[in-house]
Amino acid sequence: MLACNHPLFSGACKLLFIAITASFLLFLLTSCEPETRRAKATDHIRMMDEKLLNYNQQVVRTENDEIEDYISRHQWKMVKTSTGLRYMVFSKGQGAKISKGMEVHLKYRLALLNGNEVYDSDSTGIKVIYPGTSEGETGLQEALMFLRMGDRARLIVPSHLGYGLIGDLKKIPAGASLVYDIQILDTDRGSR
């Protein structure tokens, strides 16, 4: 054991005491730092989540306002679902109500809110949809459940029910609301 009262070691003992004390204090300070970093990171994440949530809510409000303005300008009477889909049947068919498990064939015209037509069945062919599956746009899937064979309907599909944040990487831009004019041609029960 080192005796600190010996004249040769008195300076060394002092240095040792200072080094041990400094190491202990450094240990205490650094052991608390990860928790402080975690707290700061958590606060930062919470702040970013809040900013993203506010931004997303603003985007949804803006898109909703654009859709409502579009409907108003055209003086359409549309039904709005809880998801934000709007639809109106402008020519009622006499056929069976569409349900899950059917194969549905439809003619369509697809445009953006600015009026630009992006796709139609004359150029791409009759569209075949299987309601209740994850195939195709969610909004189109949802709309079909309100229709029957022979119906002609107009749909406005908000971006989150259509092609979302990236579009289709061809003709439909990111975040685009879609305007569908559809005609249910026929259905085949039990195809899937």
Residue pLDDT, tens place only, 87-142 = 999 999 998 899 898 899 999 999 999 999 999 999 999 999 998 887 888 999 99
Domain co-membership, 17 together with 67:
yes
Our count of domains for the chain comes to 2
Domain co-membership, 61 together with 94:
no
Domain co-membership, 86 together with 145:
yes
Which domain, by its residues, includes 19? 11-75
Residue 6 belongs to a domain: no
Domain co-membership, 94 together with 113:
yes
Domain co-membership, 93 together with 62:
no
Q: Which residue has the higher pLDDT, 190 or 108?
A: 108
* 20 pLDDT higher than 80: no
Q: What pLDDT does 18 receive?
A: 66
**SS in 3 state form for the chain?**
CCCCCCCCCHHHHHHHHHHHHHHHHHHHHHHHHHHHHHHHHHHHHHHHHHHHHHHHHHHHHHHHHHHHHHHHHHCCCCEECCCCCEEEEEECCCCCECCCCCEEEEEEEEEECCCCEEEEHHHHCCEEECCCCCCCCHHHHHHHCCCECCCEEEEEECHHHCCCCCCCCCCCCCCCCEEEEEEEEEEECCCC
Residue 15 belongs to a domain: yes
Residue 1 belongs to a domain: no
Residue 33 belongs to a domain: yes
Any idea what the CATH number is for the domain that residue 176 is in?
3.10.50.40
75, 98, 119: which is the final residue of a domain?
75
Question: Considering the entire predicted model, what is its pTM?
Answer: 0.73
CB contact set of 35 (below 8 Å; sequence gap of 6+): none
Domain co-membership, 59 together with 109:
no
Residue 95 belongs to a domain: yes
Residue 2 belongs to a domain: no
Residue 53 belongs to a domain: yes
Closest CA to 86 of 166, 184, 178: 178
Domain co-membership, 47 together with 83:
no
Q: What pLDDT does 2 receive?
A: 45
Question: Which tens digits make up the pLDDT trace of 37-96?
Answer: 667 767 777 887 788 888 888 888 999 999 999 999 999 999 999 999 999 999 999 988
Q: Which residue has the higher pLDDT, 184 or 190?
A: 184
Domain co-membership, 83 together with 142:
yes
Domain co-membership, 38 together with 121:
no
Q: What pLDDT does 16 receive?
A: 55
Residue 126 belongs to a domain: yes
Alpha-carbon span 40 to 32, nearest angstrom = 12
Domain co-membership, 93 together with 61:
no
- Token digits of residue 94: 């006499």
pLDDT confidence bin for 189, thresholds 50/70/90: low
